[in-house]
Amino acid sequence: MEHSNPDWQRDLALAERARGGNAVAFAEIVKAHQGLVWHMSWRMLQQRQEAEDCCQEVFLRVHQSLHQFRGESTLGTWIGRVAFSVALRMAQKRKLRIDLPGDQEPDMAFQAIGSGEDVQRDHADAEQLQCLHDAIEQLPSLPRTVLGLHYRDGLAVAEIAQIMDCPEGTVKSHLNRGRARLKAALTPMENTHVAL
């Protein structure tokens, strides 16, 4: 990462202030990255209480380990890696069946679209999005997490590979497998508006 990158400089300055005990700076870090941490925790654990516990553990670890952040990646990627590690360890320790769908996510990734002017169309769109959401929840945890990081959080394959500490080819494989399973699950739907 180039040292002239303003995001890199902002991340380093923010981390430095938080390391120095600045509670406001750490609160900025939490606010900026809590969405990523929550979504990753939810995708991996699929249980609300487990995901909440994971988020608390992640930010506790981030606070304790902030001295290890050197700016070799973005702060978001570094925190994402902590979150992935904590969520994976929690799932293994608690022997959660992370590859099965859990409760419906409180902050759904896909919401009904439309203005309400065409009730039939809006209803069909909402059904299609619900089918997509259900199909995503049926995916194994890693493809589900990778798809979420890529499409919802907008992370590049290289960033996801850093977070998961794996080769980019593995991330691409999870993406391809996840997309293929979604297409197979959604094939029966006619006139779908969701592009995979």
The pTM score is 0.67
Of 7 and 52, the structure prediction assigns the larger pLDDT to: 52
Q: How many domains does the chain have?
A: 2
Q: How confident is the model at residue 106 (pLDDT cuts 50, 70, 90)?
A: very low
Would residue 177 count as lying in a domain? Answer: yes
Average pLDDT, the chain: 77
Residue 35 lies in a domain: yes
Instruction: Report the CATH number at residue 65.
Output: 1.10.1740.10
What pLDDT score was predicted for residue 178? Answer: 87
> Is residue 106 one of the residues assigned to a domain?
no
Specify if 156 maps to a domain: yes
Q: Which domain holds residue 177?
A: 119-186
Question: Do the Cβ atoms of 98 and 45 come closer than 8 Å?
Answer: yes
Q: Are residues 18 and 89 in the same domain?
A: yes
Residue 184 confidence (pLDDT): 83
Q: Looking at 47, 78, 93, which one is the last position of a domain?
A: 93
Q: Is residue 10 located within the same domain as residue 89?
A: yes
Q: Are residues 86 and 137 in the same domain?
A: no
- Residue 104 covered by a domain: no
Please compute the mean of the pLDDT values over residues 116-136 and round it to a whole number. 58
What long-range pairs does 160-166 form, CB within 8 A, spacing at least 24?
162/73, 162/77, 162/80, 162/81, 163/77, 163/80, 163/81, 163/83, 163/84, 164/81, 164/84, 165/81, 165/84, 165/85
Mean pLDDT value of segment 114-124:
40
